[in-house]
């Protein structure tokens, strides 16, 4: 196990960089640790190479400890970023790594002319919902039975 010591409880010393194909095994390891219904390996690879406009990893002491993935979506009226996936290894939470990964996606989306950012989160995932609310996301709508196991999702949004 790698011990990560942030300065003052922050993610100092953590590198946020573009993900590469070579990172997929480590990203997938984080995915498996974080989600009850993880993306499968093939889907993750396809998302990275075909659909996503932004894909980043957080690296500390040579180890990938988190990642963020997103894409731009357009409606007839707006262009916005969609956070498709964000995860930080459970042993690395609380240092601000998730915030860094999220802000990197938001910056990409803003620079590409998006007016805001959306994401889906499990209704019962109160720590994640609190995290997003703390940094400016608001509940927008409830999707019933969104996840494979039948749990509902809350769509959250932050406008720039």
pLDDT tens by residue, 82-115: 999 999 999 999 999 999 999 999 999 999 999 9
Answer whether residue 7 shows pLDDT above 60: no
Query: Which residue's structure tokens are 């979506």?
Result: 73
Mean pLDDT, residues 69-86: 95
Q: Which has the minimum average pLDDT: 6-10, 117-121, 132-136?
A: 6-10
Is-above-0.85 flag for pTM? yes
Name beta bridge partners: 68: 56, 86
Task: Tell me: pLDDT of 63 over 60.
Answer: yes
Give the per-residue pLDDT at 86: 97
Q: Write the DSSP assignment of 97-137 as a string of letters.
A: HHHHHHHHHHHHHHHTT-SEEEEEEETT-HHHHHHHHHTT-
Structural contact between residues 59 and 19, judged by C-beta atoms closer than 8 angstroms:
no
pLDDT of res. 3:
43
Give yes or no for residue 5 having a pLDDT over 60: no
Tell me the pLDDT of the chain averaged across its residues.
92
pLDDT at 13: 81
Burial 73-83 (b: 16+ CB within 10 A, else e): eeeeeeebbbb
pLDDT above 70 as % of the chain: 92
Which is higher by pLDDT, 116 or 51? Answer: 116
CA gap 133, 139 in Å, rounded? 8
Match 């995860």 to its residue by tokens. Answer: 87
Question: Cα 113 to chain center, whole Å?
Answer: 20
């Amino acid at each position: 196990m790698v011990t990560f010591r942030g300065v003052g409880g922050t993610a100092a010393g953590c590198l946020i960089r573009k993900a590469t194909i070579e990172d997929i095994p480590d990203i997938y390891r984080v995915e498996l640790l974080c989600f009850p219904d993880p993306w499968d390996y093939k889907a993750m690879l396809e998302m990275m190479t075909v659909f996503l406009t932004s894909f980043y990893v957080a690296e500390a002491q040579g180890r990938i400890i988190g990642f963020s993935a997103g894409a731009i979506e357009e409606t007839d009226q707006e262009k916005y970023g969609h956070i498709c996936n964000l995860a930080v290894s459970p042993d690395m939470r609380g240092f601000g790594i998730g915030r860094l990964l999220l802000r990197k996606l938001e910056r990409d989306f803003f620079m590409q002319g998006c007016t805001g950012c959306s994401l889906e989160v499990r209704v019962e995932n109160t720590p994640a919902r609190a995290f997003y609310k703390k940094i400016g996301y608001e509940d927008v709508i409830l999707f019933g039975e969104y996840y494979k196991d039948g749990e509902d999702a809350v769509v959250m949004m932050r406008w720039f």
